Homo-oligomer: A and B are copies of this chain.
Amino acid sequence: MSQSDGMNYAPKGKPNPVVGLGEFQFAVAAMDHGHIHGQVNGLVEAGATLKWVYDKNDPAKAKDMAEKFDATVADSLDQILADDEIKLVAAAAIPNERAPLGIQCMEAGKDYFTDKTPLLTLEQLDAVKETISKTGRKYMVYYSERLHVESAMFATELIEEGAIGKVLSVTGFGPHRHGPAGSRPDWFYNRQQYGGILVDIGSHQLEQFLAYTGAKDGKIVSANVGNFGNPDFPEFEDYGDAMIVGDNGTTFYYQVHWFTPDGSKAWGDGRTFITGTDGYIELRKYINVGTDEGGDTVILVNQKGTQKLNVAGKVGYKYFGALILDCINRTENAMSQDHALKAAELCVRCQMAANNLTPATLTG
């Protein structure tokens, strides 16, 4: 088919580094989740310089990363926090340790950039907010399923340009591959540590809801979790979904699970559907299933026509450069603190409201 049909929506090109070598130095303070590699890559590509790497649980991981980025393994977290050249601490700790670590970093005068989910409870949220207020530091979050996915960043622009009119509703599918049962670290199966599926991988979804609909808050009208395939790990939730009504009359449904089948070529067939008054957008984020195409397929159908774009390598990840500049200039162009924490709050509230679909299996 014609890829244009009279439309002219196209990626504007990838952003450049925003600072020179050594101008913005950061450290890594926890590497429990592999997302830390994405966090560091994003920052380094935007011009940041990695100075220190530390991981209390696995020094070998820290050593590998330090070698890769010409950084130094720190002896302790304190060594990082005591270094005045460090403006930002990036970390992907075990989920229940993310807020305490962030509070410690902010109290030492550093901005903090944590893997999602940024926190697990309303108590942690309150403590984080209090520390932000007291220190003036930033508690930023790596919501990678939008910020580090080119199709998802492109959709953000399309909506801002009015390509589909007023957004009415968003639907998000965030399936993940579990791998062999028991193959993950212990904390992955421990409810107190990972928090539950809606607050964990669900956190990406809530951020996308706020970003795409423009809602500033939302009411959780349904939330469900279940353990349908992992009876040996009773605290593990392998399925979850929820529905939210936004404060601006938009709606949102999302589904997350760990049932990506072996026959899928992707770790998850992540999708986002955005319905507007003048058209719709579908994102096939990591695979265009049933074809040989990879990810970052954007389908835009509006009053002017139908456009199918593959934006891989064409959009880039402007979040990271904007985050560096926000840290330097004390602005909020990458993402507002309110937005980052409202997404966190909503995923915590979803988890708290969750109805257990498999009461015989799940404890938690």
Contacts and interface: CB of A to CB of B under 8 A. Distances in A.
B279 A306 contact: no
B302 A253 contact: no
Interface string A153-187: 00000000000101011010101000000000000
Looking at A166, A168, A224, the one whose CB has the most chain B CB atoms below 10 A away is A168
Given A222-B243, A263-B304, A276-B259, A249 B357 contact: yes
Interface string A99-113: 000000000000000
Interface in A33-85: none
Given A261-B302, A279-B263, A290-B306, A245 B224 contact: yes
- Chain A contact residues: helix, strand, loop or mixed: strand
Number of identical protomers: 2
A261 B289 contact: no
28 contacts: A1-B290, A1-B291, A164-B261, A169-B239, A169-B241, A171-B173, A171-B253, A171-B255, A241-B251, A249-B357, A250-B357, A253-B253, A257-B275, A259-B277, A259-B280, A261-B279, A261-B302, A262-B303, A263-B302, A263-B306, A265-B306, A269-B280, A269-B301, A289-B299, A290-B306, A290-B307, A290-B308, A291-B308
Given A171-B171, A171-B173, A245-B355, 8 more contacts: A1-B290, A222-B245, A228-B277, A255-B275, A259-B276, A259-B277, A263-B303, A264-B301
